[in-house]
Chains A and B, each alone.
Chain A
Amino acid sequence: MTTNTFVAGDGFLYRMDPRAKIMAMLLVCVFLFLGITLEGLYATVVLLILVGSVNTGIQHTGRTFKSILPMLIFMVLFMPFNVRGGESLISIGSFTLITREGALQAARLGGRFIGITYACTLLFATTPMTDVMLGLRWYRLPYKASLVVTLAFTYIPFIADSFIQITESHRLREGGDLEKKRSVFKRLKDLLPTLTSALVVALRSIPYLAMSLEQRGFGRKEKRTSYHSLDSYRHTFTDFLISFTIPIVLWLIFKA
């Protein structure tokens, strides 16, 4: 009922202390919302994608982008229409369709969205979830809260997995003759029952997850111990230094 986000590898991010990586992820996310230039924003996004490709491989990086693409298109297409004021870029007669400010805002929003996605992916793809949890607990987050955070980040891919399985199932259940290429409208229409089914599967699995957690002892009064530890990470200080330095340097270079 949960899907692993970890992709085995031996890049430098895999050796970095999870506590420092959590800090770096948070600082990068904050940095993306500071007053920085658009060029700076996209340079950071490119840097994140490059770091991701080096550590988890180009294929994984590409898959991540593909997974957010529909939402990204939706945001970039509809955002400019919401901003009415400013210099007109495209207009039909006297009606302004897209303004320069709207286009810039859409570009900024898209950049932030890609940036946050890759920052999170870099953490969760290069760190086993147990280590993320230990890292969160090191920051004094209670066990239950850490579990909720890690479950949430594994539950989202589970919904994506369910979606793929349902798509496969539906593909095997297609009736009639082979159709030629389906129109975009038909494809979108076909997507609806699959999406609904994926959500139903996800919702249906919640009580089973809760049931299994309790059955495995979640809720017991004993002080919970941990099978894993973060002792194997040897350069904690250096890793923290890097985590603080990089976002600060980026901010100094790209501040508006």
Chain B
Amino acid sequence: MNYPTKGTQDPCLDIRNLSFTYQSWKKEKNSPVLAGLDLRLEHKSKTLLLAPFDRGKSTLARIISGLCPKYLPGALEGSVHICGKDLANTEPWELLLDCGYVSQNPQEQFVALSVEDEIAFPLEALGLTRVEIARRVDSALVNWGLDDLRTSSQQELSGGERKRVLLAVQQAIHPHFWVLDESFDDLDRSWREYLTTLIREGEGTTLVLASRYLEQFEDLFDQFALLDEGKIRFGEKAEILHSFSILCGDELPNPLNDQKILIQDEHTLVCSSLLTVRIRISTLEAKPFKLSVPSFTITSGDLVTLVGPNGSGKSTFSRLLCGLDEPKEGTFTLDGEEMNQRELNRSVGYLFQNPDLQIFLPTVREELSWSLKRRKDLNDRQVDAMVCECATLFGLDLEETPSTMSYPLRKALQAAVYYLLDRPFYILDELDNALTYSVALSIIALLRRNGAGILLITHDRKFARLVSETTYAIEAGILERA
């Protein structure tokens, strides 16, 4: 594919005086997410746009992709041009070859029923021949290690595998301009490195939106920018990283260091000789997925991390540990007594990778009070007091509608819901995705302050080091202490 060269014609992206305010569903008007934003990206430029959560990163990405305000209503002012096309007069499908957007939440972008069909769908829309579609599909599947999952449906994929599918879709379409919203999250180290190589060697224009500076970003970008207070500011790398670090609170002390925790009753949860087997219903060819856990122990107050490649079984183990699934073999004991699934449900809080699978109610208040109202030992006044205190701790507005909150705020809400449950153990499945280290560490500290044992699943080694030195790893279907 021939890409336009730098400075020869219209810029790849030209945003002028862009302001955007989401439509309010309440009496009060929302404050603008973007206010007088200007952004110009030349062809072939590679830009890292950093912003702490809830500053409008995803909104900007959706505006650039032509999806907002069409599907997420709000008042938009200013102009956006991509490769010379005015987005005010352009439909999203007309941007297929100009702009490829990978969303922060992979689940919201799936349209087809299998991995290969997901990749083929836009190629069919482009009217390519069957031979060309097959060539591109095969190539994208091989490049992103998805060949074995070709016929799998998205329900059978892990979070990281879903992200890889969406990146494979973009690779197959080959648009001029890639907008990657937290695309490095969910990916394990090897796939982050592959994406880094792809961006470095790619001839197109890339805009990466991130809320963390990862080691993979080193020497990858030629421009650095910061999004704050609705505006974008470019600068030298060191200066932008410094400002970003201040905004994220990275210079604040790690709340987990020397944290004083109140352990009222010390508990020990032990898993012995676990084995689980899962069959993929969408294909006869794939081998059944197996996970074996010879021994795993966690005690009150512990901070343990679990690492492993995408699809290795981290979430599968989490579902077993909290009693959502039953293992084929093996036992769970709490303080020496064997536990059934229902007892595990009440002892281990599991924060899913995707917060949207755990929050459903119309307001933050209702979401936080749902479990408390079912407790007979609490009256309404006590429930209200606990809910208010919790909302303050997690920085949540009680009357806010969860579905219109930003992704990281939804993650904070998910954590707040579990904080109120006061479980002896918590599993945090990639909590750090889309959160700054400071916010993620604060959430862990809050969940741990009453002595809960925490199992953190993460792909970010730097973050893992900040949390704990005790690490379990999954390799070749076996979970063992690293």
Contacts and interface: CB of A to CB of B under 8 A. Distances in A.
Contacts of B112: 2
A78 to B, nearest CB: 30
A8 B110 contact: no
B67 interface: yes
A145 to B, nearest CB: 16
A4 B127 CA distance: 25
Contacts of B350: 172
Contacts of A217: 93, 96, 121-122, 124-126
Nearest to B121: A216
B114 A218 contact: no
A161 B155 contact: yes
A201 B371 contact: no
B108 A212 contact: yes
A138 interface: no
B376 interface: yes
Contacts, number: 165
Interface residues of B, number: 71
Contact of A214 (B92, B124, B418): B92
A218 B372 contact: no
Contacts of A171: 324, 345
A169 B358 contact: yes
B281 interface: yes
Contact of A6 (B124, B282, B360, B421): B282
B114 A172 contact: no
B162 to A, nearest CB: 12
B111 A225 contact: no
Nearest to B403: A204
A215 B65 contact: yes
B97 to A, nearest CB: 9
A10 to B, nearest CB: 7
Contact of A227 (B108, B120, B153, B403): B120
Contacts of A209: 111
A250 to B, nearest CB: 30
B101 interface: yes
Nearest to A4: B153
B349 A172 contact: yes
B257 interface: no
Contacts of A210: 71
A7 B128 CA distance: 29
B322 A172 contact: yes
A2 B349 contact: no
Contact of A212 (B91, B110, B120): B110
A127 to B, nearest CB: 11
A1 B161 CA distance: 16
A220 B93 contact: yes
Interface in B113-160: 113-114, 116-117, 120-130, 133-134, 137, 151, 153, 155
B111 A213 contact: yes
A225 B284 contact: no
A72 B337 CA distance: 42
A194 B343 CA distance: 21
A219 B342 CA distance: 48
B94 A220 contact: yes
A130 interface: yes
Nearest to B62: A211
A129 interface: yes
Given A1-B111, A4-B155, A128-B151, 17 more contacts: A1-B108, A4-B113, A4-B114, A8-B284, A130-B114, A130-B117, A173-B417, A176-B374, A214-B91, A217-B124, A219-B91, A223-B127, A224-B127, A225-B129, A225-B133, A227-B120, A227-B137
Interface of B: 65-67, 70-72, 91-96, 101, 107-114, 116-117, 120-130, 133-134, 137, 151, 153, 155, 169, 280-284, 322, 324, 342-343, 345-346, 349-350, 352, 356-358, 360-361, 370-372, 374-377, 403, 417-418, 421
Interface of A: 1-4, 6-10, 128-130, 154, 161, 165-166, 168-169, 171-176, 178, 193, 197, 200-201, 204-205, 207-220, 222-229
A-B pairs with lowest CB-CB distance, top 6: A217-B125, A4-B153, A222-B127, A197-B360, A227-B120, A175-B371
